[in-house]
Structure 1
Amino acid sequence: MSDKNVLNAINKSTDLPFSEHSEDKMPEVKSVFREVLPKQGQLSMEDVPTMILCKPKLLPLKSVTLEKLEKMQMEAQEAVKQQELAGREQLQ
């Protein structure tokens, strides 16, 4: 079979129009829809949302509430130490 016959057989089996040099070009596919541009009125375009890459947001390792609780605990421990030191000084 010659190259032309092979291309014709492929064309008939796939219903896609191939050129004789199909290695050089992609197969041409006919559009199902016809583009219509209005002569009057407004031309609208569909806005398709796309992904946008943003800077990464740095999250704290500890929550604000946890930091407040730790601070309160440290202050309470310091107060207990001061009371113990004051109690020892009174005993001496």
Structure 2
Amino acid sequence: MSENDLKPIVPKTGQLLIENPEELVLCKPRLIPLKSYTLEKLEKMQKEAIKTLHEIKENQNN
């Protein structure tokens, strides 16, 4: 190997410094939902079940 064929040494711990920041590409931030679709669906099912339960109790009282 000649002196020009040096391999970079990447540290396994600590910070990695980059000397050419103009090569960095920033991407747009991704928005993630606060609640997953499944959680929203389960909450909707639970609200419907509670509503049905209240309707049944009202019908029994009448």
Place the TM-score, normalised by the shorter chain, in its bin.
0.5 to 0.7
Post-superposition CA distance 1:22-75 (Å, at most 9, x none): xxxxxxxxxx87xxxxxxxxxxxxxxxx53211111100111001000000000
Structure 2 residue runs without a partner (length 5+) = 5-22
Larger radius of gyration: 1
Match 1:63 to one of 36, 46, 54 = 36
Paired with 1:85 and 1:56, the residues of 2 have a C-alpha distance of 49
Q: What is the RMSD computed on CA atoms of the aligned residues? A: 1.8
The residue type equivalent to 2:54 in the other structure is K
Q: Distance in 1 between the 2:54 and 2:48 partners?
A: 10
Unaligned runs of 5+ in 1: 1-31, 34-49
TM-score (norm 2): 0.60
Query: What is the rounded CA distance, in whole Å, between the counterparts of 1:51 and 1:86 in structure 2?
Result: 66
How many residue pairs were aligned?
42
Q: TM-score when scaled to structure 1?
A: 0.41
State percent identity of aligned pairs: 48
